Amino acid sequence: MRNYKITLIKGDGIGPEIVDEAVKVLDAVASCCELHFEYDEALMGGCAYDITGDPLPQETITKALQSDAVLFGAIGGEKWDTLPREKRPESGLLRFRKELGVYANLRPAVVYDELVNASSLKPEIIKGVDIMVVRELIGGIYFGEPKGRTEDKGWNTMVYTRDEIVRIAHHAFQIAMKRDKRVCSVDKANVLDVSQLWRDVVTEVSAQYPEVKLTHMYVDNAAMQLVLNPKQFDVILTGNIFGDILSDEASMLCGSIGLLPSASVGDKIGVYEPIHGSAPDIAGQGIANPIATIASASMMLRFALGEIQAADKIDNAIKKALSEGYRTGDLAQFDAKEVCSTSEMGSIIANYIER
């Protein structure tokens, strides 16, 4: 029996609903792969602010650093939108990523064959899409100084250092080596000095990976190319804000934002989370799609714990549920044989694993 300590951060909105389903699936895979998970819950986001006055209590960082991995739902909601910036749920999340040093956010966008009709693009354009967005996560404009706000002016700074670009570039090239060996680096080097540095450094790093074909693309063109011909991409390497936007765009190639998982990794503990937010508009209704979080749990098994067989079991069970026609509400109009709730979808996937 192999034991792992997992910190669960459920967060706000649909966070608790979708994390509960991922735990259900993890428990199913534990029973058939001789694994044991010890879960420890920690607070972050609006719920943490309500209880402690801080969206990221120190205890949460301590718990996370003492575990093998963090499984995270989502944070945020209108209730906390008028708080001072540093008290808001999103500030807690940014601080959490910085504290854990998770500089690389890996966002796979894979189109399930069963859902080729669910995309807003034509099936022939999206069938077979398999993109890995490698987004720098703890630098760029979300963290740059100076930043500020007066009554009539607001400003942020997009800044990257050579070292920050080098480490994320290595990460992307190493991932590409295990895939189709193509990296497209996305920037705005025609306008921004920070992007010209990005482009120069990525080109330098690429010399160490002669087997990988490197191309560069401006972010506005990349946004267009993603919907024009998404299959041209293998690994997309980009900075924090561009990656945030492009990966949401990529999610719609796949049919629903409720399908896409992510891994945030660095030198310490990794954080595994869906790419979507707390979806306050559907929270508490039992209709959220838990697949992105369940697939994030699979990424956690694969990348953080090296439990490849268990991760494969989860991925296969997700595919099976989709191919049998089970859909949550977000995908109800696409070849659904049965529309199910959040909890039913979790149970269906868990049952396929146990079988």
Residues in 172-231 that interact with ligand NAD by CB under 6 A = none
Told to check if 344 binds ligand NAD by CB under 6 A, we report: no
Catalytic residue among 103, 142, 160, 352: 142
What is the β-pairing status of strands 182-187 and 213-218?
parallel
Told to check if 91 binds ligand NAD by CB under 6 A, we report: no
To ligand NAD, the closest distance from the beta carbon of 90 in angstroms equals 5
What is the β-pairing status of strands 271-274 and 261-265?
antiparallel
CA distances from 325 to 84, 114, 303, 315, 337 (A): 45, 8, 29, 16, 5
Residues in 3-32 that interact with ligand NAD by CB under 6 A = 14
Q: How many residues bind ligand NAD (CB under 6 A)?
A: 21
CA distances from 113 to 107, 110, 126, 334, 335 (A): 19, 9, 9, 12, 12
To ligand NAD, the closest distance from the beta carbon of 342 in angstroms equals 8
The nearer residue to ligand NAD, 288 or 349, going by C-beta atoms, is 288
Residue from 20, 27, 40, 90 touching ligand NAD (CB under 6 A): that is 90
For residue 227, the SS3 value is: helix
To ligand NAD, the closest distance from the beta carbon of 46 in angstroms equals 8
Told to check if 277 binds ligand NAD by CB under 6 A, we report: yes
Concerning whether 244 is annotated as a catalytic residue, the answer is yes
246-282 b/e (C-beta count within 10 Å ≥ 16 → b): bbbebbbbbbbbbbbbbbbbbeebbbbbbbbbbbbeb
Residue from 186, 282, 297, 317 touching ligand NAD (CB under 6 A): that is 282
Told to check if 286 binds ligand NAD by CB under 6 A, we report: no
Catalytic residue among 54, 234, 244, 330: 244
Q: CB–CB of 76/14 below 8 Å?
A: no
The interface region with ligand NAD, picked from 96-104, 127-135, 184-192, 271-279 by CB under 6 A, is: 271-279
Distance between CA atoms of residues 117 and 81, nearest Å = 36
To ligand NAD, the closest distance from the beta carbon of 330 in angstroms equals 4
Catalytic residue among 248, 312, 315, 335: 248
Residue from 71, 253, 288, 317 touching ligand NAD (CB under 6 A): that is 288
Tokens of 158: 């997009």
- DSSP H or E segment with residue 267: none
The interface region with ligand NAD, picked from 131-139, 193-201, 224-232, 282-290 by CB under 6 A, is: 282-290
State the binding string over 295-334 for ligand NAD (x if CB under 6 A, else -). Answer: -----------------------------------x----
Told to check if 257 binds ligand NAD by CB under 6 A, we report: yes
Distance between CA atoms of residues 314 and 90, nearest Å = 30
Told to check if 258 binds ligand NAD by CB under 6 A, we report: yes
Distance between CA atoms of residues 321 and 302, nearest Å = 20
Concerning whether 142 is annotated as a catalytic residue, the answer is yes
- Give the long-range contacts of residues 22-25, CB within 8 A, separation 24 or more: 22/71, 22/290, 22/293, 22/294, 22/296, 22/297, 22/346, 23/71, 24/346, 24/347, 24/350, 25/294, 25/297, 25/314, 25/317, 25/346, 25/349, 25/350, 25/353
The nearer residue to ligand NAD, 75 or 300, going by C-beta atoms, is 75
Told to check if 93 binds ligand NAD by CB under 6 A, we report: yes
Catalytic residue among 103, 188, 234, 330: 188
Concerning whether 152 is annotated as a catalytic residue, the answer is no
To ligand NAD, the closest distance from the beta carbon of 74 in angstroms equals 4
- Residues serving a catalytic function are 142, 188, 220, 244, 248
Site residues, ligand NAD (CB under 6 A): 14, 74-77, 90, 93, 257-258, 273, 276-282, 288-289, 292, 330
